[in-house]
Amino acid sequence: MSKFVSFIILIFLVLSNQLYTYAEENQPLEIKSEAAVLLDSETGAVLYNKNGEERLFPASLTKIATAIYAIENGNIEDVVTVSARAVNEEGTRVYLEEGEKVLLKQLIQGMLINSGNDAAVAIAEHIDGSVEKFAENINKYLINEIGVRNSHFTNPNGLFNEQHYTTALDLALITNYAKKNPLFSEIFGTKELNWSGESWQTTLLTHHRLLKGEIPFEGITGGKTGFVNESKHTLATTAENENIKLTAIVLKADTNKVTYNDTENLIEYGLKSFHHRVIKQNETFTVNEKEYYPKKDTIVTEHINGSEQNITNQGMLEVVNDGQVTQSIPLVVKEPKNLPVEVEKPLSNEQSSINILYGIIVFAFAGLFLGVRKRIAKRQ
């Protein structure tokens, strides 16, 4: 075999291996849960979406919404008097007693860390007077403050109701919004907490196995679990590294193990595959002979192998990763600079005299022409 042929075969094998490796890295994620969404917590870029707008039952992930609603609409130092309705709420609880007085902050901790359904009802009644009024108000809050589109809650804890539903995308938006609040973020990331109640003295441990460290995984910053028969297993998780912060939501998994496997796959994909780039305010983009620019320096989420950028006819900058639009940024059209208006200069004395002379000559010729016409007319 000639050296040239050997060289060609070697190059072919190297290229084939590179193509195979790249294809492996870009294979679609194998997510078994019914719905899943991965968001960049800072830019809101949708990095993965499987049935993200399908209406499903959230179970206890509802408590993420209840927590941020209570933090923003209540006083965390308020003393809450626990009602009989709260005490008798079914499901997971922190064993409150009727008439017990508990700080609102402690109730939020018990609801998020130990998933206390009784604490959730106590919160709702304190903030809005009743669970029914709470449901009415939180639905307005989620639409007006967070911008959800496919959610409707009937209670503060996620116990099953056919009219109590949301989507993976809405839950990701709610979690992203909530994480910007320092108190929520602190409680959402708490692994254990000493609990001192009238009937229960204990140490609360988060139910989230990745956050707790029971399943080793670097970078987990917060989480909430959920389960009722109708919703199956649900999981909300936040994570970060030096490049990016992520929010992962998985809904309707057949088993607890599936929720964690799917979440690990989502977060590993996000942490390894994406980073940020800043588009400067003075950076311009041209489409249909018009120039556009961002209103301010804007962070975009890009794939480490690079991302496409498209400008729509409406002046939207679309960031495309793996063939999907992951982020849309409104741009401002750049107005053309006003051209200087030429101001007529005043005529000099010399130019004025010349113009007067030209006027006299023209007037004389006009008079001569009219006189000649009259003589010709008389002769005829």
- In this prediction, residue 127 carries a pLDDT of 98
> What's the rounded Cα separation, in Å, for the pair 143 and 165?
14
Going 93 to 96 to 98 to 100, the CA torsion angle's sign is negative
Cβ(231)–Cβ(251) under 8 Å? yes
Give the global pTM: 0.80
- In this prediction, residue 5 carries a pLDDT of 41
- In this prediction, residue 165 carries a pLDDT of 98
- Closest by CA to 316, choosing from 332, 297, 302, is 332
pLDDT tens, per residue, the chain with 380 residues: 454 444 433 333 333 333 222 223 344 699 999 999 999 999 999 999 999 999 999 999 999 999 999 999 999 999 999 999 999 999 999 999 999 999 999 999 999 999 999 999 999 999 999 999 999 999 999 999 999 999 999 999 999 999 999 999 999 999 999 999 999 999 999 999 999 999 999 999 999 999 999 999 999 999 999 999 999 999 999 999 999 999 999 999 999 999 999 999 999 999 999 999 898 888 888 877 788 888 888 999 999 988 888 888 877 888 998 788 888 888 888 776 554 555 455 545 555 555 555 555 655 555 665 665 556 555 55
- In this prediction, residue 379 carries a pLDDT of 52
CA dihedral 13, 14, 19, 20 (to 10 degrees): 60
Question: Catalytic positions, please?
Answer: 60, 63, 115
> What's the rounded Cα separation, in Å, for the pair 178 and 340?
52
> What's the rounded Cα separation, in Å, for the pair 119 and 121?
5
Amino acid at 169: L
> What's the rounded Cα separation, in Å, for the pair 98 and 26?
55
- In this prediction, residue 309 carries a pLDDT of 84
- In this prediction, residue 13 carries a pLDDT of 35
- In this prediction, residue 27 carries a pLDDT of 46
- Closest by CA to 327, choosing from 46, 50, 49, is 46
Give strand pairing partners of 201: 196
- In this prediction, residue 366 carries a pLDDT of 58
Which domains occur in the chain, in start order? Answer: 38-273 (3.40.710.10), 280-333 (no CATH)
Q: Centre a 10 Å sphere on the Cβ of residue 62 and count the other Cβ atoms it contains.
A: 29
Cβ(297)–Cβ(279) under 8 Å? yes
